[in-house]
Structure 1
């Protein structure tokens, strides 16, 4: 009897991805209240979130290698780390506990993020894998919405926000550990995954990494600086928040629709080209005529296509990379996080000239489109081996 897709494991893993984002942004919407609650500076509160990209950059590649060789133990470790961090934050109402709890959760994030392609490859039939990757990637955006939503709904009660987030996280960790008891029907253990240098030299991998660097750089910078960039045009902070929410919701829809369609047609690079062109045009419009109307007109296509670009790239990796998909995924996540840090840093110096920031976004998107057009249909040789 042929093995069948195990969607229960994929959905449990996606919930774990939501929980990791909830942990990351637990204090983002209540920074001032958290600083007063713990008696620390807002900068200290900022470090509760900044730990995540910092540790991600350091641990992304080792996490990818571990996932290539020991998928289920690696995911179980991620669930334990997330759960332990949540329990510590819930059990001890002090800044040091929040900091240590965030460190534990941040150690888990490279495993949950880099596992998106590996879980789909190990638990789903080939025809279901693009949708599985989309579900895993889309979960990160759902987690952002949940985290910001909880903080916005309970803006003055830090303890309540922490307890809600911790309860959700512990529940998802228990479900994930239970789901991981199911053996991966399509998994084959990889004893010696390809070396990082060998993976980087594969045709298309450097190009795809730069595309992801630019794409995530634009998205993270928009998420970070949208409000101050639109403020000179008379757009209020509340309206900017709505625009960000529109972008995220459109992105979730794009994650469900775009990657499976692109994979069915074997057109992932073409989808990335379209994404780059549309994003560039939308950012040019924002540079020339910033406002509420143009903000909505830009947020919808940017969200729908740009946020789906990462699962499109990951689907391409899963379809073409085989045994080193975990390591390649880690490289892409590393490139994306680096892009978010670098581009956001540059845009921080352009807040006095919003048109220049949007022009930079347009230029990056156009470059990404040009490079995506050169990505080969198959990045390296397909070995037919998946990690377990």
Structure 2
């Protein structure tokens, strides 16, 4: 058995990288809040000043994959050393030759080349030194350093320009970069002597075939698309922040303050959201919902001219968009595993740089059409962020997080659930709700896993160990026995109905008859109204085991605890296995009653109001004392 150890020195390694990570972003946004002053100083057009920020994105596109190769091959320390030296040396030269735009732009290009060596190493540091449950937090802290650099540029550049002038401003930044590089060189260390956990066992080596394999990972592709949009918008907005706000009557100092506060609040988000993600052991919710929450403030920002309102909206936008950054990078590393962290991070950053360039030119073009007003660009970005939220809802949970959740199963609980499900299979057969190997039943273990009967084995032959543990999110399972063919339907029910803990699929006689006739069952009996709901709908026909069947069933099951499957059978659900069985029995009884009342040509159903009240009473009061046990 391999030994693993978590070292306190991991925090020293992490924190010694923060100053140089901050400094590279200071250089990136040096000119963003003083664009109009830089235009006059160098006597050039606005796009030339924007180029001094945009060059970071251009260089990143070219350097990202080769740098990722170096990080994965040689480690983060050598890579960050190269980045630190490029930043320090050319940061000083930029200050020395501050009067010459051409030299400044060349130095800016060299500094930009150092950035991927620095930022692409973040997830590598987290992977080398931190256990899985701390990695999003570590990535968040490292990303926070970059945000601090952006804050410094936004707040200091306008004020230092007014007090020192542009040449001395650039010189001060050069001195700071040398100090930051020295801190990293003194305290950094590549990896601990003993691995921190089993995920460090993978041999990390970059190859283009591995990079290509990511393109077959649907979840990673979704993440690439989302980061393309969100990072691109962020990069473009930060580049044009003064020009974007100037038509609203905002001064360069105010624009710098807004940009700084945006990043300060974003920094808070970059710490809080990853910590929440690690605490609840979930990535998806903290990736998806913040995107939606960013839409409203961005929409208000588009049209508002109030300094206070703009400040509040930018702060909210920064909190949510910047807050998901470290989670997205860590999530990317986890869904790409065992592909090295530097590779997955580099590709995501590459997406943001490409889109950043596109969106910067787009903002310049749309602004020229509106006489310098950026309202068209901001409106377009608002719509784009909302569409990104809709697309991000397709994310699946991180497999490494789910595996860790499975490792935390209580063995005694699983043994009891296996026995309960095995006994449930016999009860299903003996009650006449199924015959042979037809039908299936399952129990929820937690929000990510369920236990389900295997496919093709008679209920009388089932043993507790035959029950199959299935991942609700991706339907993966372990063991030789295959889960039921309707596993996807069970999983979808658990995902959409969080209160449900048991699902049973039956083929009882009366239920099948009514399902074949495709007749909706009205609330003829009060026990049906109580336990199942105001009616028993019939899901449209679809071939068993297909996605269409799942979609049709979920739709018909809304607000109900039972549903008929056209020309097939029935599905009943409950907060316990006992409640689900009761629903099956009541559904069969209700279908039989419908058939008999049709023969009698009589049958008076309860009113919708009466059946609704009875169902709600059952859910909230009566059932808590009986069927849910």
Normalising by structure 1, report the TM-score.
0.87
Which of the numbers 320, 331, 345 marks the counterpart of 1:329? 345
3-state secondary structure, aligned to 2:340: helix
In the other structure, the counterpart of 1:74 is 79
Contact 1:284 1:362 in 2 (8 A): yes
Moved more, 355-364 or 85-94: 85-94
Task: Say whether 1:149 aligns with 2:155.
Answer: yes
RCO greater where, 1 or 2, for CA within 8 Å and sep 6 or more? 1
CA distance in 2, matches of 1:92, 1:347: 30
Contact 2:277 2:286 in 1 (8 A): yes
Relative to structure 1, the CA distance from residue 191 to residue 345 in structure 2 (aligned partners, 3 Å threshold; closer, same or farther) is: closer
CA distance in 1, matches of 2:398, 2:30: 39
CA distance in 2, matches of 1:356, 1:44: 22
Measured against aligned partners, the alpha-carbon deviations of 1:286-323 in whole angstroms (never above 9, x if no partner) come to 34555334323322221111111221201212344334
Contact 2:58 2:357 in 1 (8 A): no
In the other structure, the counterpart of 2:130 is 124
Moved more, 83-92 or 326-335: 83-92
In the other structure, the counterpart of 2:360 is 344
In the other structure, the counterpart of 2:398 is 378
Contact 1:224 1:344 in 2 (8 A): yes
Q: CA deviation at 1:106?
A: 1.5
CA distance in 2, matches of 1:191, 1:306: 31
What runs of 5+ residues in structure 2 fail to find an aligned partner? 405-629
Q: CA deviation at 1:267?
A: 3.1
Measured against aligned partners, the alpha-carbon deviations of 1:168-202 in whole angstroms (never above 9, x if no partner) come to 11111111112224544546652455522112222
Contact 1:60 1:334 in 2 (8 A): yes
In the other structure, the counterpart of 1:260 is 275
3-state secondary structure, aligned to 1:4: coil
In the other structure, the counterpart of 2:204 is 190
**What is the alpha-carbon root mean square deviation over aligned residues?**
3.0
Contact 2:33 2:252 in 1 (8 A): no
Task: Say whether 1:205 aligns with 2:205.
Answer: no
Q: CA deviation at 1:64?
A: 1.6
CA distance in 2, matches of 1:354, 1:85: 33
Task: Say whether 1:315 aligns with 2:330.
Answer: yes
Relative to structure 1, the CA distance from residue 127 to residue 48 in structure 2 (aligned partners, 3 Å threshold; closer, same or farther) is: same
CA distance in 2, matches of 1:278, 1:125: 30
Task: Say whether 1:179 aligns with 2:193.
Answer: no
Aligned residues: 383
Contact 1:230 1:291 in 2 (8 A): no
The structure with the largest strand share of the pair is 2
The structure with the largest helix share of the pair is 1
Contact 1:203 1:380 in 2 (8 A): no
CA distance in 2, matches of 1:306, 1:26: 22
In the other structure, the counterpart of 1:111 is 117
Normalising by structure 2, report the TM-score.
0.55
